[in-house]
Structure formats: C-alpha cells, structure tokens
Amino acid sequence: MSSRNSLSSGAARQQRLDALRGAAVVWMACFHFAFDLNHFGWIQQDFYRDPVWTGQRTVIVSLFLLCAGMGQALALHQGLSWPRFWRRWAQVAGCALAVSLGSWLMYPRSFISFGVLHGMAVMLLILRLAGPRLSNWLAVGLGALALALPSLFSHPFFDSRWTNWLGLVTHKPITEDFVPVLPWLGVMLWGFALARWLLAKHSLLLSGGLPKIFEPLAVLGRWSLSFYMIHQPVLIGLLTLVQYLRPWAT
C-alpha cells in the first residue's frame, strides 16, 4: 500500500482539503530549506528563538494538525474501517520511528523523540477512539482545554524524553522537533469539529471543485507523507553536493 494521504486519516478524496494540506507542505519545504541553509552556515538565523521563524513553525504544524483532524472526521463520516485505519496509522508510526533514527544520526544531542509524526500517531488514535462520542461543542471545549492546559500546569516529572510527549513540561526540551499531545491535540480537535460542522451545514465548502491553478497543491497534499519523508534528505543531499562543488567552481 502506498503512503498516499497518510498525513490525513485516510478519508476519500476532498480536493479542497488536499490543497490546504499541499499548501502546508510547500510552506514546510520552504521553511526547512531556510533551516538547512542556516545549518550549512550560508545564512545566519535563530530558528529556535526568533518569532519570524518560531511563528512560522507554529502555523505550519497547526495547518497539518487541523487537516489531520478534518480528515479523521471525514473518515468517520464515510465509515472507514478499523483495518484500513490501522494500515494508514502504521505508515505514520513507522515514518515517525524513521525520523527519530535519521535525526539521531544527524543530531545525536537533539534528535527527534516526539515530533509531528509521533504526535500525529498518538492523536489520531485518541481521535479515532473518542471522536464518535464527542459532540462538536464538546470537541471545541476539550480542544480549548488542551490548548490551555500546558500554560496552567507543568511539572518536572514531564521533562524527560520518556514523559515529555504529554506536553506538561517546565521547559522545552533540546530537540529538533517537538509536537507533544498537549497543547497540539487541541488543534486536531478543532479541525475535527470544524469538518463535522461543515459536513452538516456547508458540505459544498468541502466537496466543491478546485480551480485548476490549485490542482498541483491537491496532488501534493495527497502524497504529503511521502513528500515529508523524502524532502529533507533530498534538500540536504543537494546542499551537501553544492558545498562540495563550490571550491571547484572558484
């Protein structure tokens, strides 16, 4: 089975949602290209503290998780079976493990133990189990609570790599990517509630056509997991090659 649509929940195609996910993919790739340029020393930027970059990261992750929540609502609406869900979930979880391994090889002191794919795998399970039992208003309320809880409560117990995945940390861990269940589950819950509301009240906003100019984004959004997994190795490989060839060009 291909990894098509694995960053969503496996619902039947909705071009507009795919295009939104594709736009997030393009933005992510541009962000990572700038990050890689900084890593190679070709630009000087603070990706860990500068609001220009931290703000972009927040929006990009939010778009992915919003789309994932909407995709899960569509999957439940269309009766996605548990075996199909598990196959798609296994793709996300497997890629999360690959990201941990790859980042450990490249950044052994700040490798990714719980990044966006790890968080998505856990949150998709939560939503699959709890989603059918939630009203839209309850999903919105629980989403708001999830978003607020890390600011209301934290404890040193949650600061280790074994426990920080929950998100109730006293300080952000040293890692290249960190997307804990709290507060990010709140974004996915809001996406879930938004899609169910649209399905009930304004279904054409989801199922309507897409201008041709945006069709490439929809295609990219359908292959978001594959693109996510290959784009950084490709970018880093190309930049490594350019760096190697630069002395020969001077």
- Encode pLDDT of 37-87 as tens digits: 999 999 999 999 999 999 999 999 999 999 999 999 999 999 888 999 999
Confidence class for position 106, pLDDT limits 50, 70, 90: confident
Asked if residue 183 has a cis previous peptide bond (ω within 30° of 0), the answer is: yes
Helices then strands (H, E): number in the chain? 9, 0
158, containing H or E segment: none
Confidence class for position 2, pLDDT limits 50, 70, 90: very low
- Encode pLDDT of 167-183 as tens digits: 999 999 999 999 999 99
One-letter amino acid for residue 63 of the chain: L
pLDDT of residue 1: 33
The pLDDT of 204-209, averaged and rounded, is 83
- Encode pLDDT of 121-170 as tens digits: 999 999 999 999 999 999 999 999 999 999 999 999 999 999 999 999 99
pLDDT at 118 over 60: yes
What string of DSSP letters covers 32-79? HHHHHHHHTTSS---TTT-HHHHHHHHHHHHHHHHHHHHHHHHHHHTT
pLDDT of residue 153: 96
pLDDT of residue 249: 55
pLDDT of residue 5: 45
Confidence class for position 221, pLDDT limits 50, 70, 90: very high
Whole-model pTM: value is 0.91
What are residue 143's phi and psi, to 5 degrees?
-65, -45
Out of 3-12, 57-66, 199-208, 241-250, the most confident range is 57-66
Give the residue from 217, 226, 234 showing the smallest Cα distance to 2.
226
- Encode pLDDT of 23-35 as tens digits: 999 999 999 999 9
pLDDT at 107 over 90: no
pLDDT of residue 203: 83
One-letter amino acid for residue 106 of the chain: M
* Mean pLDDT score of the chain: 91
pLDDT at 205 over 90: no
